Amino acid sequence: MGDSDVEQFDILHWWRDHEKHFPILAIIAKQILATPVSTVAVEQEFSARGNILDERLSLLSPESIQVQVCVDDWTNAQNRQQEIDQEALYNFFDDDHTTGTEGSD
């Protein structure tokens, strides 16, 4: 891949195209890659969760806060109804994926 290809590569689009092959990783990737960059959006997320940004939290970098929001979301995921296609999940762990002999897409 050349530099121009890398610059034009849309990672979210790639995950949309491949989510049926990697359903769990696609969910995690979308959460990480779609995390809002602006501090305002992160503050809204904390507010929605009932957390208040105090002076100590405001000293954290936006990236650290975004990481914490994602980790909290993943930790609390078990309390939400998860819509994961069990058959796709089982197929993911078949011999092709575990032996590294997966065919090309």
Amino acid identity at 2: G
The pLDDT tens digits for 42-83 are: 555 556 555 555 556 667 787 887 788 778 777 777 666 656
Which residue is it, tokens 């049926």?
A: 20
CA distance 58 to 19: 35
The pLDDT tens digits for 3-31 are: 666 678 888 888 889 989 988 888 888 87
Q: Provide the pLDDT for residue 32.
A: 77
| Residues 6 or more apart in contact with residue 94 via CB below 8 angstroms | none
Q: Provide the pLDDT for residue 61.
A: 80
Model confidence, pTM: 0.34
Q: What are phi and psi of 35, to 5 degrees?
A: -65, 130
Yes or no: say if 27 and 34 are a contact pair by the CB < 8 Å rule. Answer: no
